[in-house]
C-alpha cells in the first residue's frame, strides 16, 4: 500500500470519529496508561498490520505485538496488543476495529473463495465494486486473502463493456478505436454477452475477453473458440457457493464483486487492562493480559 496515502486516510478517519475531542475519554486522567488487547471472536484470516502500525505511530501508542497479515486465526487468538495512554487507546479503538474488521472480513472471504475453487490455474480477483474511499485498503485485503486485483482505476486498462460497445457501434470498432488511442503497455479487454459477440471479439484480437453470466457448461464450449494467447475472464453470478463449479475450465480469471461489496465484518473485540479501575495493581508491561 501507499503508506503516505494510508496515513492521510487514517488521519481523516480519526478526525471524523473524534471530532473536536473525545468527551468520554476526557474523563480519564491524562497520564493514565493501559494495555489493550484485541482478540478474535471467530475463525478467519487476519489482515491489517500496516494499518495498525500507522495508527499506533500516529496516536503515540506502542505496538507490543500484532499478527502477521494472512495468518489464520481462531476464537480467542490475540490479534493485537497496544500499550500507551488510556485516552489515546480509547480514541483510537473504533477506527482501528472498524478498519481491521473490514479488511479481515475481505481477506477471510477471499481465502474461502480461493480454497473453494481449488484451482491454481485460475486467479480469483476483485472488481471496482468497492467502498468509495477504501479501494486501496480493500484491494490490499484481497491480496492478503490469496486473491488478485483487477484494475484499480479507470486509467489502468481499457475495459470495453456493453455501453461502450453501443456507443462505439460494435465490438470490432470499439477494439480498433482502443488500439489506435492507447499505448502498447495498456491492455485491452472486451466484455461479451453472446456467442456472436465472442466470435467478433476473437477476430478483433483483444488482450482479454470477459465472458459475462455464462454457465460452466457454456464456458466449456465457448473457450474452445478462443486462441490461447487471449486471456479469459469470467464474471457475473458467481458466489462462494458456486465457484467450485468452474474448477478445471480453461479460464484465467474469475472476478467477484462479492469480495468487497457485501462482505461481512470479521468479529473481534478490544479489551482494556490496567487503567484507573485497578490502579493499585496496574502493570503496563506487555505481560498484562
110 dihedral zone (left: phi>0; alpha: psi -120 to 50; beta):
alpha
pLDDT 10s digits, 19-30:
999 999 999 999
Active site residue 129: yes
How far is residue 151's CA from residue 250's CA, in Å, rounded to a whole number? 22
pLDDT band at 273; cut points 50, 70, 90: confident
CATH fold of 119-261: TIM Barrel (3.20.20)
Pick the catalytic residue from 161, 179, 231, 250: 161
Q: Is the pLDDT of residue 34 over 60?
A: yes
Burial of 254 (0-12, 13-18, 19+ CB in 10 A): buried
pLDDT at residue 65, as a whole number: 97
Q: Contact 251/122 with Cβ under 8 angstroms?
A: yes
Q: Is the pLDDT of residue 289 over 80?
A: no
Pick the catalytic residue from 22, 126, 138, 191: 191
CATH number attached to the domain at 3-112+265-278 = 3.90.1170.20
pLDDT 10s digits, 212-253:
999 999 999 999 999 999 999 999 989 999 999 999 999 999
Pick the catalytic residue from 93, 138, 212, 233: 212
Question: Where along the chain do its domains lie?
Answer: 3-112+265-278, 119-261
Average pLDDT, the chain: 93
Task: Read off the pTM.
Answer: 0.91
pLDDT 10s digits, 138-184:
999 999 999 999 999 999 999 999 999 999 999 999 999 999 999 99
Active site residue 212: yes
Pick the catalytic residue from 129, 151, 231, 250: 129
Residues in Cβ contact with 224 at an 8 Å cutoff, skipping those fewer than 6 apart: none
Pick the catalytic residue from 7, 41, 94, 151: 94
Residues in Cβ contact with 140 at an 8 Å cutoff, skipping those fewer than 6 apart: 1, 47, 50, 103
Q: Is the pLDDT of residue 284 over 90?
A: no
Active site residue 41: no
Residues in Cβ contact with 49 at an 8 Å cutoff, skipping those fewer than 6 apart: 66, 67, 68, 69
Active site residue 85: no
- Cell readout for 255 is 472476478
Active site residue 94: yes
How far is residue 84's CA from residue 90's CA, in Å, rounded to a whole number? 10
Q: Is the pLDDT of residue 280 over 90?
A: no
In three-state secondary structure terms, 35 is strand
Amino acid at each position: 500500500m501507499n503508506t503516505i496515502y494510508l496515513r492521510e486516510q487514517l488521519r481523516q478517519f480519526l478526525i471524523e470519529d473524534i471530532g473536536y475531542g473525545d468527551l468520554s475519554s476526557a474523563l480519564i486522567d491524562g497520564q493514565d496508561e493501559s494495555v489493550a488487547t484485541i482478540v478474535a471472536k471467530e475463525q478467519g484470516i487476519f489482515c491489517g498490520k500496516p494499518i495498525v502500525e500507522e495508527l499506533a505511530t500516529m496516536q503515540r501508542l506502542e505496538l507490543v505485538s500484532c499478527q502477521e497479515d494472512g495468518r489464520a486465526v481462531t476464537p480467542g487468538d490475540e490479534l493485537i496488543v497496544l500499550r500507551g495512554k488510556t485516552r489515546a487507546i480509547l480514541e483510537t479503538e473504533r477506527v482501528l476495529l472498524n478498519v481491521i474488521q473490514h479488511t479481515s472480513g475481505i481477506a477471510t472471504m477471499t481465502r474461502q473463495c480461493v480454497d473453494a475453487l481449488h484451482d491454481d490455474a485460475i486467479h480469483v480477483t476483485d472488481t471496482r465494486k468497492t467502498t468509495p474511499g477504501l479501494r486501496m485498503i480493500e484491494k490490499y485485503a484481497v491480496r492478503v486473502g490469496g486473491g488478485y486485483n483487477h484494475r484499480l482505476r479507470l486509467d489502468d486498462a481499457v475495459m470495453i463493456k456493453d455501453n461502450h460497445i453501443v456507443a462505439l457501434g460494435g465490438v470490432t470498432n470499439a477494439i480498433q478505436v482502443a488500439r489506435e488511442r492507447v499505448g502498447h503497455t495498456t491492455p485491452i479487454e472486451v466484455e461479451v454477452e453472446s456467442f456472436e459477440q465472442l466470435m467478433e471479439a476473437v477476430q478483433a484480437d483483444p488482450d482479454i475477453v470477459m465472458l459475462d453470466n455464462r454457465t460452466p457448461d457454456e464456458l466449456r464450449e465457448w473457450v474452445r473458440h478462443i486462441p490461447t494467447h487471449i486471456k479469459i475472464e469470467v464474471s457475473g453470478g458467481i458466489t462462494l457457493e458456486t465457484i467450485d463449479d468452474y474448477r478445471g475450465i480453461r479460464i484465467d480469471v474469475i472476478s467477484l464483486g462479492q469480495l468487497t461489496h457485501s462482505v461481512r465484518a470479521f468479529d473481534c473485540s478490544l479489551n482494556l487492562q490496567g487503567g484507573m479501575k485497578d490502579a493499585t495493581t496496574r502493570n503496563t508491561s506487555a505481560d498484562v493480559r
